[in-house]
Amino acid sequence: MSRKLDSPVQTQMAVAVFNSPLGGEYPRNNAMEEKQPTRRRRVFVQTETGCVLGMELDRSDNAHTVKRRLQVALNFPTEQSSLTFGDVELKNDLSAVRNDSPLLLTRNYLHRSSSTPCLSPTGRDLQQRDRSGPIEILGHSDSFNVLKILVKDVVKAIKMGVDPLPVHSGLGGAYYFRNPRGESVAIVKPTDEEPFAPNNPKGFVGKALGQPGLKLSVRVGETGFREVVAYLLDYGHFANVPPTALVKITHSVFNVNDGVNAHKPLKKNLVSKIASFQQFIPHDFDASDHGTSSFPVSAVHRIGILDIRIFNTDRHAGNLLVRKLDGIGRFGQVELIPIDHGLCLPETLEDPYF
């Protein structure tokens, strides 16, 4: 899908931030690792219905050869489709695509009947073509080191049979992943289960990935990218954004709707998704349940500065967590944790919600 927008403000999809320095007046994050493309690169291709397939690229590969390989894996013609990396539609050259980058494959027409097949590889295809583990962090940054330890803990729990728990609140699909002791340690939000996305588990469907979403300035399937960027731009943990990374993750707990009517299949199979993976921070309540008089002024200022820097259009009491530091929560003795930054960095300016 082409990303040509007639707007005064336009941002590239956040994936470009993971592997490139930030220019301009902002300080460079020395933790970001600059890696030149190697002879072989691994990418993860996501279809507009949410299916994910990992594949390796040779130096000789181009957009056309990738589409042909996807056609074999997905058993679906890909000639009338677009392959995009962030805001860029890949016509032929793949030199801008870096290792572990997520790509999006979309068909060039929007009208689909209920009989339209899902672009979904079979289990055998996944085993033969995708050798990645249960959870793979996409992108490279020293800021992800804390999450690498967390991922190992979660993978160990999955192998022990400790299943994640669905989050029943909110409009999109989200899941608490646990450690071997059964404690929630991460919250995972698949990009194809966002509001209006094809595999939303709560009935809010109707659009393909890449189309304008809940807010017209943020496309369906891109809030997870923005969650990660909000964390990366929170230099030195200035505003206390929880560690967040983009991952390719495989589990049977995820939702896959059957066709455009969002019917859920009875049998749960292993399915791979691209998702935001955020450390779960234990807390006592959110800001709507606690008087603001006890909030540390400096913490409020820091979160406000972050929201201005990232053009956050969605800050309210429900996405500001409060944790007591002294067991009582007296003035200055609570910690504020800002979450849910999926509606930051809008493509166009609109009225924010505070």
DSSP sequence for 9-78? -----THHHHTS---TTSPP-TTB------SSEEEEEEETTS-EEEEEE-TT--HHHHHHHHHHHHTS--
Does pLDDT of 302 surpass 50? yes
Distance CA 263, CA 243 (A): 34
Q: Which segment, 1-10, 12-21, 79-88, 137-146, is predicted with the most confidence on average?
A: 137-146
Residue with tokens 């804390």: 146
Output the DSSP codes for 159-184.
HTT---EE--SSSS--EEEE-TTS-E
Identify the pLDDT of residue 127.
Answer: 40
Q: Quick one: which of 300, 199, 338 has its CA closest to 259? A: 199
Identify the pLDDT of residue 110.
Answer: 39
Q: What is the mean pLDDT of the chain?
A: 79
Distance CA 353, CA 142 (A): 32
C-beta separation of 319 from 352 below 8 A: no
C-beta separation of 343 from 225 below 8 A: no
User: Residues with Cβ < 8 Å from 45, sequence gap 6 or more?
Assistant: 52, 53, 54, 55, 66, 70, 83, 102, 103, 104, 105
What CATH code would you report for 15-279?
3.10.20.90
Q: Looking at residues 60-80, what average pLDDT do you find?
A: 80
Q: Looking at residues 73-96, what average pLDDT do you find?
A: 80
User: What is the β-pairing status of strands 101-107 and 41-47?
Assistant: parallel
Question: pLDDT tens for residues 170-211?
Answer: 899 999 999 999 999 999 999 999 999 989 999 998 888 888
Structure tokens at 122: 């079979």
Instruction: Band the pLDDT of 84: cuts 50, 70, 90.
Output: confident
Residue 252, Cβ neighbours under 10 Å: how many?
A: 12
Question: pLDDT tens for residues 105-141?
Answer: 887 643 333 223 333 444 444 444 556 689 999 888 8
In three-state secondary structure terms, 101 is strand
Identify the pLDDT of residue 18.
Answer: 41
Distance CA 152, CA 172 (A): 26
Q: Write down the pTM of the prediction.
A: 0.74
Identify the pLDDT of residue 143.
Answer: 93
Identify the pLDDT of residue 352.
Answer: 61
Distance CA 217, CA 10 (A): 9
Does pLDDT of 34 surpass 60? no
Does pLDDT of 22 surpass 90? no
Describe the strand order of the beta sheet including 81-85 as a list of residue ranges: 52-57, 41-47, 101-107, 81-85, 88-89
In which element (H, E) is residue 190 found? strand 184-190
In three-state secondary structure terms, 306 is helix
Output the DSSP codes for 233-293.
HSGGGSS-PPPEEEEEEEETTS---BTTTTBPPSS---EEEEEEEEE----SEEGGGS-GG
The phi-psi region of residue 203 (left if phi > 0; otherwise alpha if psi is between -120 and 50; otherwise beta) is left
Question: pLDDT tens for residues 221-269?
Answer: 999 999 999 999 999 999 999 999 999 999 999 999 875 445 555 567 8
Identify the pLDDT of residue 48.
Answer: 74
The residues spanned by each domain of the chain are 15-279, 285-338
User: Residues with Cβ < 8 Å from 310, sequence gap 6 or more?
Assistant: 229, 230, 233, 341, 344, 345
Instruction: Band the pLDDT of 299: cuts 50, 70, 90.
Output: very high
Instruction: Band the pLDDT of 21: cuts 50, 70, 90.
Output: very low
Angle of helix 297-309 relative to helix 223-233, nearest 10 degrees, comes to: 120
Instruction: Tell me how far CA of residue 123 lies from CA of 74, 158, 170, 250, 320, in angstroms.
Output: 11, 19, 31, 12, 40
Residue with tokens 């991922």: 151
Structure tokens at 151: 């991922």
